[in-house]
Amino acid sequence: MSLNRISMQGLHDRIAQFGKKEIILDVRGRDEFSEGHIPGALNIPHDEIAKRADELKQYERIYIHCRSGKRAQLAFADLEKQGFKNLVCVGDGGMVEWIAAGYETVQGV
């Protein structure tokens, strides 16, 4: 597994330059996601990634994150096994780091 990585701060700084075919994939559970997530993020819980991978084929770059990093790495591995080469794992810290930095979050789905 060749993990392409970016920090949460790096992701935050990059969002303003996102193209239409870039997405933030939040692989936390639905309840966690609705409590607070990055604006514009797509939620697919990590244990559903393998069966919902087709939904992601339209994107040129997929930034994967979770609460602290472990589920993001699992989702990265699942997608990589399915041939995705456009993945970026948002490194250690996840939403914990995002919230601690005071970055914007939205609630609901």
pLDDT digits (tens, 9 = 90+) for 22-44: 999 999 999 999 999 999 999 99
What is the model's pLDDT at position 3? 61
Instruction: Quickly tell me which residue has 């609460």 as its tokens.
Output: 67
105: its two tokens: 């979050």
Residues whose CB falls within 8 Å of the CB of residue 91, separated by 6 or more in sequence, listed in order: 5, 6, 7, 8, 69
What is the model's pLDDT at position 64? 97
What is the model's pLDDT at position 91? 79
**Domains present along the chain, CATH in parentheses:** 5-57+66-77+89-97 (3.40.250.10)
With a cut of 70, which residues of the chain have pLDDT below it? 1-3, 92
What is the model's pLDDT at position 1? 43
